[in-house]
């Protein structure tokens, strides 16, 4: 199934379910080498969402700004390689939404506890806005906010559950988006945790 949110934005309900058994141990493995951390924004706020990365590039933030980096600033080492099932899932989902040949070089792994949220923002630290972004939801449900091209534009609420995949590209690539504070609705596999994998072509 494929639900259209906009001209270039699609929800693929349950698309990741066949991959879950491979994804969960891979996430544990990479969190051992690059632990989840709460980043500080340039404005001095500590994010409620914890983050790690895998792939050639990882997204990071501190008082000096947002950027992609080839190394984990906490360890000085390269980010863990992108596990093969991650790459395959991202590529198959993008292709299902009409974006053939997606080759992500960055995967942000966001971890939410109850109450964690992501305020409205645009993803514009990537070099090539021509490539789509693929987002995979695991664990607790969340309500995603999908806005317009200006911060004040009205938003639509998109409920996302374990296994859902969203693909954003084309003219929807730079739309504002966010995640409402998570409710405490524990998931059988992940407990009181939501994990979001976001695949990008950053470099």
Binding interface with ligand MD3 (CB under 6 A) = 108, 110, 118, 123, 133, 135, 166, 168, 172-173, 175, 177, 179, 196, 198
SS3 assignment, position 32: helix
Instruction: State CA 47 to chain mean position distance.
Output: 15
Q: How far is the CB of 176 from ligand MD3 (least distance, A)?
A: 7
Site for Fe ion in 95-124 (CB under 5 A): 123
The residue among 60 and 196 lying less far from ligand MD3, judged by its C-beta, is 196
Q: 177, exposed or middle or buried, with CB in 10 Å at 0-12, 13-18, 19+? A: buried
CB atoms under 10 Å from CB of 58, counted, come to 26
The residue among 110 and 193 lying less far from Fe ion, judged by its C-beta, is 110
Interface with Fe ion, residue 126, by CB under 5 A: no
Measured CA to CA, the distance from residue 59 to residue 198 in angstroms comes to 11
Instruction: State CA 95 to chain mean position distance.
Output: 18
For residue 172, the partner it binds in ligand MD3, Fe ion, none, with Cβ less than 5 to 8 A by kind, is: ligand MD3
Using CB under 5 A, list all residues that contact Fe ion.
123
């Amino acid at each position: 199934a494929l639900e259209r949110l906009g001209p270039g934005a699609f929800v693929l309900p349950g698309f990741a379910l066949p991959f879950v058994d491979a994804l969960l141990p891979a996430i544990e493995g990479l969190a051992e080498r690059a632990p989840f951390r709460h980043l500080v924004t340039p404005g001095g706020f500590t994010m409620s969402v914890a983050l790690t990365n895998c792939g050639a590039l990882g997204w990071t933030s501190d008082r000096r700004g947002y950027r992609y980096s080839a190394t984990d600033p906490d360890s000085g080492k390269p980010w863990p390689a992108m596990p093969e099932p991650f790459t395959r899932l991202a590529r198959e989902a993008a292709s299902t939404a009409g974006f053939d040949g997606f080759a992500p070089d960055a995967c942000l792994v966001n971890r939410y506890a109850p109450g964690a949220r992501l305020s409205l923002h645009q993803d514009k630290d990537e070099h090539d806005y021509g490539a789509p972004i693929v987002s995979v939801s695991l664990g607790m449900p969340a309500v995603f906010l999908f806005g317009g091209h200006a911060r004040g534009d009205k938003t639509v609420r998109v409920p996302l559950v374990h296994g859902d995949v969203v693909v954003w590209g084309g003219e929807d690539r730079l739309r504002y988006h966010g995640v409402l504070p998570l409710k405490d609705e524990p998931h059988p596999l992940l407990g009181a945790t939501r994990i979001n994998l976001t695949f990008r072509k950053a470099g």
